[in-house]
Amino acid sequence: MTETKQPVNEPEMKGWLHKWTNYIKGYQKRWFILSNGVLSYYRSQAEMAHTCRGSIRLQGAMIHTEDTCHFVISNAGTNTFHLRAGTEVERQRWVTALELAKTKAVKASDSDEDDYDESPAPGGDKAELQSVLKTLSAKLEDLQTCSDLIAKQCAALQRSLAEAEAVAADNPQEVLTKMKAVNERATLFRITSSAMVNACGEYAQLAQTQGRKWQRMLSHEHEQRRRLEDMVEQLAKQHSHLEQAAQQQARATPSGLSAGSGQLLAHSIHSEEDDENEFYDAEEDEIQTDYIVQVPIGHRRTPSGVSTNSQTLSSLTVSTLNENGSTISRKPRRTRVPDKPNYPLNLWGVMKNCIGKDLSKIPMPVNFSEPLSMLQRLSEDFEYSELLDKAATCSDASEQLAYVAAFTVSSYATTSIRTAKPFNPLLGETFEFDRTDDKGWKVISEQVSHHPPMVAQHCEGRGWRCWQEFTMSSKFRGKYLQVIPLGEYHLEFDGSGNHYTWRKVTTTVHNIIVGKLWVDQSGEMDITNHVTGDKCHLKFIPYSYFSRETQRKVTGAVMTRDGSVKWVMGGTWDDHIEASRVINTLKTNKGTPVFETEPLSTLWKRRVPPPDAERYYNFTELACQLNEMEEGLAPTDSRKRPDQRLMEEGKWDEANDEKLRLEEKQRSARRQRELDAELAIQEGRPVPTYEPNWFRKEKDRYTGNMLHVFGGRYWECKRKQDWAVCPDIF
C-alpha cells in the first residue's frame, strides 16, 4: 500500500494480476505496477527494464468492480483493462490503491490548472535557486534559535527582577546578592539579543541581495517572453499573407477538368480485421488498397439533381401522424436568438498562455463562447434525423449503412462556420429536447464525469435509438487548436436489429493568432455493423490551399464482411453526400479494382442557413431552438444555467461574473468529494464515487467497453415533475 512519505519513483503498489487478452487465450498472468498515477503492466518482472505492454493514466480513468475478484479500468473507452485478482481481499487492496492514486492525480492536475502560467526554471538557474533557498532556510533556522534563546533569557531576567524586588522589601541586606544575579541574566540577554540582531541583519542583507537579483531575472524573462510573443505574432501574420496568396493563386489556376467529363473518385479501404471485441497486447498493421469508381457519363445524378430518396426524406418532415392517423399539432418555436453584441477581445492575448494545455480544463471568458452548452451542441447531430428515418425503412443492410454514413457526415454541416466554443457543462448538468411532435425524436444528455469531462447521451427516434459517451482531448499548439473525440457512438434499428458503432474524426480550428477563424475536419472513420459485419470506411480529407481538388472532401465505401464493395460515396462534409450502388467490379492491368456503378444519388443536402445567421453566432433554426425555455424542465437543465442565459441576452459582463461563481461552486463540491474519499480510505471504507442520476455504467455486448447507458427514469420523473434526485449546481 502507499506510504505517506516515499520517494517519487517508488511504486505505490505492485503485484501479479490476471488480465483479459482475447477469447482464445482468456485471462493471462501479468505483472502490474501502480506508480505516479499510472497503472502499467508487463509479461514478467524481467520486462520492467525495457518493455511496457500497456498503461492507463488514472486521472481520467473509470474504476468499476464486477464481482468478488474481477474489476475493470477504462480510460474514456480508448483503453480498457479487464482484471482478475486472486482473492476478494487482494482485489479490494488494488481498487483502494487505484482510487487513492486517481484522487492524487486529479489533485495534481487541478494544481497544474491553477498554476498553468508558471514554467520551470532552466537547469542552471534552478540549481542556484535551490542553493540560495537552502542558505536562506539555514539563516531562518538561526533566527528561530535566537528567538527561542531570547524568550528563555527574558523570562529568567524577569524572574530575577521580581525576586530582587521582593528581597528589597523584606531584607535590604540581600539586595546586592540578587542584583548580581540580575546583572548576569541581563548580560546573557544582551549577548543573545546582539546575536539576534546580527542574524536578522545577515538574513535581511541576503534577502535584499537575492531579491534584487530575482527581480532582474524576472524582468529579463518578461522581456524575453514579450519578444517571443511579438515574433510569434509576426510569423502568424506572414503565414496569413501566404495563405491568402495561395488561395488567390489556386482560384486563378484552371482545374483542367471539363464540365462534362465523368469524375473519378480515389479512395483507400481499410481491410483490417474487426478486433473491437478482443483485447490484444499489440495491434496489427492496417492494410490499404486503392480503387477507382467509374460513373456513367451524363448520368451522374437522377434527373431532378436530387435522388428520389432525397425527395422522400423531405416529405417525412411535412407532417407528423399519430397512431390513429390524425395530425399532431406542433408547438410553435422561435427561429432566431438575439444578435451577438460587439465585444472586442484579443483572442491571442488570452490563448498565448494556453499553448500545450488541454483547453477543456482552463476557464475561458464567455466572449469566446456561443450561448449553448456542449450538451445542446451534441443534440444538433440529429438535425438531419430524416436520414435515420429513411435508413430504418431500408431492407438492404448495405443501403442502410450508406444512409447511416450520410447521417454521420451531416453532423458536421454547420461546423465550418461555427467557430465559437460551447459552454463546458457542470457536473450533473442535463439537457432534454423533445421533438416527437415534428421530428419524431427526443434526446436526453447528462454530464456524467468531470475528470475527464464526459457527456452521456441517449436519443429515441422513429424505429431507431442512438446513444454515445462523448469525451475529447484538446490541445492548443499556438497556430491551431485540435480537438480529438474519444467517445464511441452507437446506433440500433428496431426493425433489422442492426447495431452500428463509430468514432468521430478530428476537428481543427485554424488562425487562432491572426486572421479569420476557420474549422476543418480530418481523419478516417469506420462505421461497423456488428450484426452483419458490414463496414463503411469514410475519409475526411484535410483542407489544402495547394490542392485543386474540392475542399472539405469526403470519400467512402460500404463493404461487406468479406471486403466486397457494395456502395461508393463522395461529397463534402459541409454541403452534401452522394452515393452510388456498385453493379460490377473490374480490374486494371495493375490489379486496381474499377467499380461500375449506378447513377449517383444525393443522400443528403445541407439546408440553406438563414441569410442573417452571421449576426447570431451562425446558428441554424434548430440551434436557435435549443436554448428556448420550456415548462417542466429539470432544475439541472442547460436552459436554466444563468451565465449562459445572460450571454444569450447580450449581458456578457454579468455572464462572466456568473460563470466565475458557478465554477467556484463546482470546485467547492469537488473538494468536498475529495475529502470524503480521503476519509473513506483512512477508515478502510469503500471510496464513494460520483454516480450520475439518469445514466448507469454497463459493459457493451459488442465492443466489450464500459459505457454509460440511459436508465429510462428521466421521462417518467418529468411526467411526475419529481426532481428530488437533482443536485443543486446552479
Least confident of 59-63, 171-175, 452-456, 634-638: 171-175
**Mean confidence (pLDDT) of the chain:** 80
Model confidence at 307: pLDDT above 50: no
User: Which helix (DSSP H) or strand (DSSP E) does residue 543 occupy?
Assistant: none
Residue 342 is predicted with a pLDDT of: 84
- The pLDDT, as a whole number, for residue 346 is 61
What is the reported pLDDT for 78? 67
CA distances from 345 to 318, 342, 361 (A): 43, 9, 21
Whole-number pLDDT of residue 50: 77
Tell me how far apart the alpha carbons of residues 141 and 147 are, in angstroms, rounded to a whole number. 10
pLDDT of residue 322: 44
Q: pLDDT tens for residues 72-99?
A: 888 766 678 999 998 888 888 888 888 8
Ramachandran angles phi, psi of 56, nearest 5°: -135, 130
128 pLDDT band, cuts 50/70/90, is low
Check if the beta carbon of residue 593 is closer than 8 Å to that of residue 293.
no
Position 383 pLDDT exceeds 80: yes
List helix spans (H) across 369-441.
Answer: 374-379, 386-393, 397-410
Q: Are 543 and 535 in contact (CB under 8 A)?
A: no
Closest CA to 179 of 161, 192, 197, 166: 161
For residue 134, the model assigns a pLDDT of: 74
Which one-letter amino acid corresponds to residue 224? Q
List helix spans (H) across 341-455: 347-351, 374-379, 386-393, 397-410
- d(Cα 482, Cα 358) in Å, to the nearest integer? 10
pLDDT digits (tens, 9 = 90+) for 706-726: 899 999 999 999 999 999 999
The DSSP letter of residue 371 is E
How far apart, in Å, are the Cα atoms of 613 and each of 414, 573, 618? 11, 19, 4
In this prediction, residue 155 carries a pLDDT of 73
Q: Which residues on adjacent β-strands are paired with residue 598?
A: none
Q: Which of 79-88, 165-174, 215-224, 580-589 has the lowest average pLDDT? A: 165-174
Residue 670: which of 96, 116, 113, 117 has the closest Cα?
Answer: 113
pLDDT tens for each residue of 188-199 = 777 777 777 777
Task: With beta carbons less than 8 A apart as the criterion, state whether 146 and 199 touch.
Answer: yes
Residue 423's CB is within 10 A of a number of other CB atoms, namely 25
Question: CA-based angle 242:251:244, to the nearest 5?
Answer: 20
Lowest mean pLDDT among 28-42, 162-176, 400-414: 162-176
Residues 61-78, mean pLDDT to the nearest whole number = 81
Dihedral, 71, 710, 491, 563 alpha carbons, nearest 10: 10
Q: Give the pLDDT confidence score for residue 695 in this predicted structure.
A: 97
Burial of 408 (0-12, 13-18, 19+ CB in 10 A): buried
Question: Given the C-alpha cell 438575439, which residue does it identify?
Answer: 338
How buried is 144 (Cβ within 10 angstroms: 0-12 exposed, 13-18 middle, 19+ buried)?
Answer: exposed
DSSP 3-state assignment of 199?
helix
Q: 233 is written with which cell numbers? A: 505574432
> CA 13 to CA 21: how far, in whole Å?
22
Q: What is the pLDDT of residues 470-501, one digit of tens each?
A: 998 887 776 788 889 988 999 999 999 999 99
More confident residue, 172 or 121: 172
Looking at residues 208-216, what average pLDDT do you find? 76
Contact 231, 239 (CB under 8 A): no
Task: Decide: residue 292, CB within 10 A, 0-12 exposed, 13-18 middle, 19+ buried.
Answer: middle
Using an 8 Å Cβ cutoff, are 585 and 572 in contact?
no
278 vs 591, residue with greater confidence: 591
Spatial separation of the C-alpha atoms in residues 116 and 479, rounded to whole Å: 19
The three cell numbers of residue 678 are 480521503
Question: Each residue of 607-655: pLDDT tens digit?
Answer: 998 889 999 999 999 999 999 999 999 999 999 999 999 999 999 999 9
What are φ and ψ of residue 444, in 5° steps? -135, 135
For residues 493 and 512, give the distance between their C-alpha atoms in angstroms, rounded to a whole number: 41
pLDDT tens track for 342-382: 876 666 666 666 665 666 666 678 888 999 999 999 999 99
pLDDT tens-digit profile of 532-587? 999 999 999 998 876 777 889 999 999 999 999 999 999 999 999 999 999 988 88
Q: Is the pLDDT of residue 270 over 60?
A: no
pLDDT in tens, 231-264: 776 776 677 677 777 766 666 655 433 333 334 3
Specify the pLDDT at position 275. 39
d(CA 559, CA 582): 10
Flag whether pLDDT at 679 surpasses 90.
Answer: no
The per-residue pLDDT for 123 is 45
Structural domains of the chain ordered from first start: 13-114 (2.30.29.30), 124-252 (1.20.58.90), 265-294+345-681+690-710 (2.40.160.120)
Please report the pLDDT score of residue 317 as a whole number: 37
Residue with cell 434526485: 725
